[in-house]
Amino acid sequence: MLEINDEDKKIILESIRDISDFPKEGIIFKDITTMLSNPKAMDTLMNHLENRYKDYNLDYIAGIDARGFIFGAILADRLNLGFVPIRKKGKLPYKTISQEYSLEYGSDEVEIHIDSFKKEDARVLLIDDLIATGGTAKASEDLIKKVGANCVECCFIMELSFLNGKDKFSSPVYSVLEEN
């Protein structure tokens, strides 16, 4: 499996801005908007993802609301695949199923259309910008399985590995960048 090289990793990492004390004191927020506005960094990232996944025999890319939509749609286009959005509850217009997940204080839900994957046993790549504790992404992986598809891998642009979020998944997890 193709891993990103050090030179490309540096280009991407240097394009991501750290914001101290956001959304609350003590948190260092990884702001990808600076990467999105950097054509060289985006092209480097998307070339890497395209090369990594071109031989996975995927049928669909599923992206998590909202930043996963950006990377997922671009990658789906590059690989000539369909894109499926996994959204926050109440945002999809057709019949959906939902999956609840825990937050620090309370819970939330994500949804997917019941007919998202037209191919039986579809091979799906799940993608999002960041994995921290893994709650939203694990719920999204579960939704893919609930509608009869196979989550081949969960891909994240950045992983906060000290939070051990990837330990929740039954599918393999790949993170382009890792923050210890």
Which residues are known catalytic residues? 67, 104
Beta carbons of 53 and 125 less than 8 angstroms apart: yes
**b/e sequence 75-108, b meaning 16+ C-beta within 10 Å:** bbebbebbbbbbbeeeebeeebebbebeeeeeee
**b/e sequence 27-60, b meaning 16+ C-beta within 10 Å:** eeebebeebbebeebbebbeebbeebbeeeebbb
Radius of gyration of the chain (CA): 16
- DSSP secondary structure string for all residues of 30-46: EETHHHHT-HHHHHHHH
Is residue 154 classed as helix, strand or coil in its secondary structure?
strand
**b/e sequence 121-143, b meaning 16+ C-beta within 10 Å:** ebbbbbbbbbbbbbbbbbbbbbb
